[in-house]
Amino acid sequence: MNFETKWATPFKAKRHQILWKRFKKQIVLQLFVGMGMVFLLIFSFTPMFGVVMAFKDYSIVTGIKGIFTSDWVGLKYFDEFVNDYRFGQIVRNTLILSFLKVIFAFPAPILFAILLNEVRHMAFKRFVQTVSYLPHFISWVVVVGIAFSFLSADIGIINKLMVKIGLIDMPMDILTNANYFWGLAVGSAVWKEMGWWTIIFLAAIAGINPALYEAAEIDGAGRLARIRHVTFPGIKGTIVVVLILTIGSILGGGLVGSNFEQAYLLGNDVNNPTSEIVQTYAFKVGLADGRFSYAAAIDLIQSIISVLLIFSSNYIAKRVSGSSLF
Amino acid sequence: MRNQRTKMLVLSLSIIMMLTILSACSGGNSGEGSNKGNNTSTNVSAEDPDADNSGTETADGNQDVEELTLFINHSWYPIKEWKGSVADKITEKTGVKLKVTVATDDKQLPLMIASGDLPDLIFTASDIDRLSNSNISYPWNELVEKYAPNFEIDPTRIAINTMEDGNFYTIRNAFATKQEWENNKYALGNDGTPGIAVREDIMKELGNPELKTLDDFVKLLGMVKEKHPELVPLVMDKNWIESYFMTQFGIEAGFGSWYENEGKAEYYLKHPKMLEFFKFMNSLYRNGFILAENFAHANDQIDDEYAVSGKAFAHSHTVSVAERDNISTKQNGAAYTFKMIPSSLSEEAVRVNTGVGWSGTFITKNNKNPEKSIKLLQFLASDEGKKLTMFGIEGEHWTWNEEGYPNLKYNTADSDFVNSNGIKWWFLYSDAIVEGLWGYVPGTQTTQALLETKAITTYKPEVGMIQVKADSEEKTIKTKIDEMVTNEKVKIYLAKSDEEAVQRYETMMKNAEKIGLQKLDDWANKTYEEKQSLFK
């Protein structure tokens, strides 16, 4: 016993010293990480306590205190949502819109990045890249305004053009037809965000060792073969990580995001059967009406689905490609 | 050495960054805090040296002008500042100046209530029962007793606005009793009455066809479609799509409200004429008289553009639509004008006024001067105050006609003039009679339409007393039914055939039953029976 204390203390002290030294060396990096942690703590973790609201009979008149003092009602609000007459339709819309976005919006920037990478004319390449990522900075409200003036059946320039050149007889009601909403949403999201995400993949491609290309060329690989055997494997890791992140936020629209903005702004009474999603519904019957508990319950259901999706996609990615987030 | 310096630079930069982030977070709060501090001791003349008030202040000697904050829960409110001759006059009379905030959307007030961050005064038509809570607002009865014992409020108004705890926290404007309506023949309804305007030039071209029935109107739309295929026969304001036609079908309730049927209250969906009305709307669509896009208008200006830019023949909105469109077309230099079609196109046309008031002022518990607040309302409620707010300054803006209405020296449709002088919009306390007299301008189309409407109007405020309470089960059911109808009704309007319309109507009714229509009506009936005694 005596022996142990005698010898352990200096060792411990030494270890502390080493840790402190290493920390001091990394102080700048640690500060950056610290800021991120503080941000998460304040804006992501602290508000999470509000989730108890979903299980309580909360009324906004009682203020923030009311979150803790109101009565427990268990799963009442979950039950109410699941038994809602539109539950099936809303969940279907959310899932379909989300998966369509993964299917179409996820590969788009990868293909675009590979195409851009093959462009040899530098000025043209830069021009295309700039033009394609600019829409990212336009807010959805403005995009919807633009969509209206382009696609409206009555004043839309595209409809007018197509009628003029005889492609169609009657203007298409793209904005006010439930059948077109998913296509419209996915299309506009791809247009707006594709260029932005291309940057990540272009960066990944830039990181590939040029020697590999030279070697492939000497081995007689053509352009397509080089893309297939060098570029693609080179950015596989990036693709998998981005895919997993995408699937984690899939119900919000994944990579291109903005399910809510689109459903809320592009949605209207006419295309409502396909445009109403869980989030807009929570907003309309929950928040707008002051029923915070109900809204919290609806969104919690969606979050649970999202967490399940991220874990399963991570597991599958680990099995299939060997790379994963955790 | 150089490395050390770079390190120091990076370190200090990152610390500065962190500080900025943190201070940005708290910036909003501290700003508000200091603002509040300012308000309590605001001296108007110091803050706003060129305001007329500074004159009054010196004239009144020591009397300070108190600045109170007012939140207006109507995001469309045309007036955003306490200025203009009417506002100045009110300040002169009451020593109160208002610092106005207009709501950005309908979520702002609920959030303010939840956070407890309330202004001195709130002017609102919604969340009435949330604000009528002694933890949030001062009951008027207490304030009147304490500070303004000679403030007399008509007992019917008190009864209507009294809550379950026996207090009343506001008196809503835009209400008049049946007796008052009958006693004031020049008091007309307000602009919240549906109307349709048509292009005068095209009417002439078509030989001014007779408009006696709804069928005549439909035929007229058909003629327009045939002769002028480039025009949309009828464009509708997104908030006024149904109202005019429901009136013609004798449906005496609007969407989301109740009507009386043999002594019982029933939700409007159950009205026997509803199916017929839906079929009619569907036929308008199938005949190509209205556009599907009309149901997708993102704001209420799109229809105005159609009308003013000459792309539509008929424009449905409120009774003042023709006059407003005419002002705009004139500004655009267009040659055509609009005129109203009759307010009633059938024998069955009926309007039931179930109004129990529209918007009221609450004095919150945060109010820094409840005495001046209630006295401000007392002044606005006086004959002098009501006429000042609604008509403007006597002599300058109007003179009293012995017949019983004001002779206005300006055009009430000239919103620039009205708004810049602050006429009408400070009606924090008012009533439907004085508001209605403002609408009486002999010889105008709006007045004509309002007179026609008044002729077919009956008054049943007891039906209007059926109001669901926040956080109650009925409210949940009603919200869900209303939300469901909003989605389903468009499917009926846009059905491809008559059978499909009927079938969709039936689906909608089934959904309503499933959500709890019967339960809602049972509750409504109970309330209705209770409230009837108020008006006997």
Output the pLDDT for position B384.
94
CB contact under 8 A, A59 and B133: no
CB contact under 8 A, B11 and A59: no
DSSP three-state, residue B413: coil
The total domain count for chain B is: 1
| Residues A168 and A232 grouped into a single domain | yes
Output the pLDDT for position B536.
66
Cβ(B505)–Cβ(B272) under 8 Å?
A: no
In a domain, B72, yes or no: yes
| Residues A123 and A248 grouped into a single domain | yes
Q: Which of A55, A85, A101 is the last residue of a domain?
A: A55
Q: Which of A270, A277, A284 to mutate to test the interface with B (most CBs of B within 10 A)?
A: A270
In a domain, A70, yes or no: no
Report d(CA B223, CA A155) in Å as an integer.
23
Cβ(B80)–Cβ(B102) under 8 Å?
A: yes
**Has residue B25 got a pLDDT over 60?**
no
| Residues A43 and A164 grouped into a single domain | no
Grade residue A1 by pLDDT with cuts at 50, 70 and 90.
Answer: very low
In a domain, B125, yes or no: yes
Give the tens place of pLDDT for each residue, B117-139. Answer: 899 999 999 889 889 989 899 99
Summarize the confidence of residues B10-15 as an average pLDDT. 68
**Has residue B252 got a pLDDT over 50?**
yes
| Residues A81 and A48 grouped into a single domain | no
Q: Which of B129, B293, B303, B474 to mutate to test the interface with A (most CBs of A within 10 A)?
A: B293
In a domain, A108, yes or no: yes
Grade residue A111 by pLDDT with cuts at 50, 70 and 90.
Answer: very high
DSSP label at A51? G
CB atoms within 10 A of CB B50: 7
The total domain count for chain A is: 2
Our CA dihedral for B122, B53, B89, B359, rounded to 10 degrees, sits at -10
- For the domain that residue B133 is a member of, what is the CATH number? 3.40.190.10
- Lowest mean pLDDT across A180-184, B60-64, B504-508: B60-64
Q: Which residues pair with B196 in a beta bridge?
A: B316
Which residue in A28, A85, A276 is closest to B7 by CB distance?
Answer: A28
Output the pLDDT for position B2.
57
| Residues A107 and A47 grouped into a single domain | no
Grade residue B495 by pLDDT with cuts at 50, 70 and 90.
Answer: very high
Q: Which of A41, A141, A142, A154 to mutate to test the interface with B (most CBs of B within 10 A)?
A: A154
* Chain A interface residues (partner B, CB cutoff 8 A): 27-28, 31-32, 35, 39, 42, 59-61, 63-64, 84-86, 144, 148, 152-154, 173, 175-177, 265, 268-273, 276, 284-285, 287-292
Which pair of structure tokens corresponds to residue B87? 């506002």
Output the pLDDT for position A8.
53
CB contact under 8 A, A270 and B296: yes
- Lowest mean pLDDT across B51-55, B437-441, B449-453: B51-55
Q: Which residues pair with B406 in a beta bridge?
A: B400
Chain B residues with CB-CB distance to A27 below 8 A: 11
Give the tens place of pLDDT for each residue, A197-244. Answer: 999 999 999 999 999 999 999 999 889 999 999 999 999 889 988 888
Which residue in A32, A85, A177 is closest to B14 by CB distance?
Answer: A32
Pairing of strands B232-236, B405-408: unpaired
| Residues A13 and A117 grouped into a single domain | no
| Residues A50 and A147 grouped into a single domain | no
- Lowest mean pLDDT across A187-201, B56-70, B134-148: B56-70
Closest-CA distance, B108 to chain A, in angstroms, reads 10
DSSP label at A219? T
Quick one: CA dihedral A170, A175, A181, A186, positive or negative? positive
| Residues A263 and A311 grouped into a single domain | yes
Which residue in A61, A177, A288 is closest to B107 by CB distance?
Answer: A288
Q: Which of A62-71, B130-139, B278-287 has the highest mean pLDDT?
A: B278-287
| Residues A102 and A21 grouped into a single domain | no
- Lowest mean pLDDT across A84-98, A133-147, A236-250, B197-211: A236-250
In a domain, A68, yes or no: no
Output the pLDDT for position B145.
94
Closest-CA distance, B17 to chain A, in angstroms, reads 9
CB contact under 8 A, B296 and A176: yes
Output the pLDDT for position B53.
39
Chain A residues with CB-CB distance to B14 below 8 A: 28, 31-32, 35
Chain B residues with CB-CB distance to A284 below 8 A: 483
The closest alpha carbon to B259, from B528, B480, B522, belongs to: B528
Q: Which residues pair with B72 in a beta bridge?
A: B102, B123
Chain A residues with CB-CB distance to B135 below 8 A: 61
Q: What separation in angstroms does the CA of B120 have from each of B90, B137, B305, B457?
A: 17, 10, 39, 38
| Residues A51 and A85 grouped into a single domain | no
In a domain, B114, yes or no: yes
- Lowest mean pLDDT across B15-29, B64-78, B147-161: B15-29
Grade residue B52 by pLDDT with cuts at 50, 70 and 90.
Answer: very low
CB contact under 8 A, A28 and B514: no
Summarize the confidence of residues B178-199 as an average pLDDT. 88
Q: Which of B10, B14, B238 to mutate to test the interface with A (most CBs of A within 10 A)?
A: B14
Summarize the confidence of residues B307-327 as an average pLDDT. 91
Which pair of structure tokens corresponds to residue B416? 């620039």
**Has residue B416 got a pLDDT over 90?**
no
Output the pLDDT for position B55.
37
- Lowest mean pLDDT across A94-103, A107-116, A279-288, B51-60: B51-60
Which pair of structure tokens corresponds to residue A241? 């990580």
Q: Across chain A, what does the average pLDDT equal?
A: 87
Our CA dihedral for B86, B404, B441, B451, rounded to 10 degrees, sits at 130
**Has residue B301 got a pLDDT over 60?**
yes
Quick one: CA dihedral B120, B125, B127, B130, positive or negative? positive
Output the pLDDT for position B232.
93
- For the domain that residue A133 is a member of, what is the CATH number? 1.10.3720.10
Summarize the confidence of residues B478-504 as an average pLDDT. 92
For residues B205-229, b (16+ Cβ closer than 10 Å) or e, as one string? ebeeeebeebeebbebbebbbeeee
CB contact under 8 A, A285 and B25: no
Say what the ipTM of the complex is: 0.72
Q: Which residue of A has its CA nearest to B293?
A: A176
Which pair of structure tokens corresponds to residue B171? 């008196």
Q: Which residue of B has its CA nearest to A291?
A: B471
Output the pLDDT for position A304.
86
Report d(CA A35, CA B11) in Å as an integer.
13
Q: Which has the higher per-residue pLDDT, B25 or A256?
A: A256
Report d(CA B135, CA B116) in Å as an integer.
10
In a domain, A64, yes or no: no
Chain B residues with CB-CB distance to A79 below 8 A: none
In a domain, A210, yes or no: yes
| Residues A197 and A284 grouped into a single domain | yes
Output the pLDDT for position A39.
94
Output the pLDDT for position A269.
85
Chain A residues with CB-CB distance to B6 below 8 A: none
Q: What separation in angstroms does the CA of B460 have from each of A102, B271, B359?
A: 56, 17, 18
In a domain, B88, yes or no: yes
Closest-CA distance, A295 to chain B, in angstroms, reads 13
Output the pLDDT for position B178.
86
Which pair of structure tokens corresponds to residue A91? 């969940």
Which residue in B471, B483, B514 is closest to A285 by CB distance?
Answer: B483
CB contact under 8 A, A32 and B135: no
Cβ(B437)–Cβ(B386) under 8 Å?
A: no
Report d(CA B516, CA A173) in Å as an integer.
35
Q: pLDDT over 90 for what percent of chain B?
A: 55
Report d(CA A177, CA A273) in Å as an integer.
10
- Lowest mean pLDDT across A162-176, B165-179, B310-324: A162-176
DSSP B72-115: E--TT-S--SS-SHHHHHHHHHHSEEEEEEE-SSTTHHHHHHHH
Task: Determine the structural domain holding residue A49 and report its residue range.
Answer: 1-55
Which residue in B18, B107, B111 is closest to A35 by CB distance?
Answer: B18
In a domain, B237, yes or no: no
Angle at A185 between CA A179 and CA A190, to 5 degrees: 135
Report d(CA B406, CA B388) in Å as an integer.
11
DSSP three-state, residue B264: strand
pTM of the model: 0.77
Report d(CA A316, CA A265) in Å as an integer.
35
Report d(CA B286, CA B233) in Å as an integer.
13
Closest-CA distance, A27 to chain B, in angstroms, reads 8
Which residue in B292, B470, B511 is closest to A176 by CB distance?
Answer: B292
In a domain, B128, yes or no: yes
Q: Which residues pair with B352 in a beta bridge?
A: B458
In a domain, B77, yes or no: yes
CB contact under 8 A, A63 and B116: yes
Task: Determine the structural domain holding residue B158 and report its residue range.
Answer: 48-183+356-452
DSSP three-state, residue A139: coil
* Helix axes of A181-206 and A232-248: crossing angle, nearest 10 degrees: 140
Q: Which of A275-284, B344-353, B359-368 has the highest mean pLDDT?
A: B359-368
**Has residue B56 got a pLDDT over 70?**
no
In a domain, A92, yes or no: yes
Output the pLDDT for position B43.
37
- CB neighbour list of residue A75: distance below 8 Å, 6 or more residues apart: A55
Closest-CA distance, A241 to chain B, in angstroms, reads 29
In a domain, B7, yes or no: no
| Residues A287 and A240 grouped into a single domain | yes
Q: Which has the higher per-residue pLDDT, A241 or B228?
A: B228
Pairing of strands B66-72, B121-124: parallel
Chain A residues with CB-CB distance to B494 below 8 A: 270
Which pair of structure tokens corresponds to residue B123? 């002017």
Grade residue B59 by pLDDT with cuts at 50, 70 and 90.
Answer: very low
Chain A residues with CB-CB distance to B491 below 8 A: 273
Which pair of structure tokens corresponds to residue B45? 């003349």
Output the pLDDT for position B21.
53
Q: Which has the higher per-residue pLDDT, A21 or B30?
A: A21
Which pair of structure tokens corresponds to residue A114? 């590979």
In a domain, A126, yes or no: yes
Q: Across chain B, what does the average pLDDT equal?
A: 86
Closest-CA distance, A290 to chain B, in angstroms, reads 7
Closest-CA distance, B362 to chain A, in angstroms, reads 15
Which residue in A63, A289, A292 is closest to B479 by CB distance?
Answer: A289
Quick one: CA dihedral B233, B237, B241, B247, positive or negative? negative
Closest-CA distance, A112 to chain B, in angstroms, reads 34
Size of interface A-B (CB pairs under 8 A): 100
DSSP B14-52: HHHHHHHHHHHHHHHHHHHHHHHHHHHT--HHHH-TTST
Q: Which residues pair with A56 in a beta bridge?
A: A72
Which pair of structure tokens corresponds to residue B333? 């230099």
Cβ(A80)–Cβ(A61) under 8 Å?
A: no
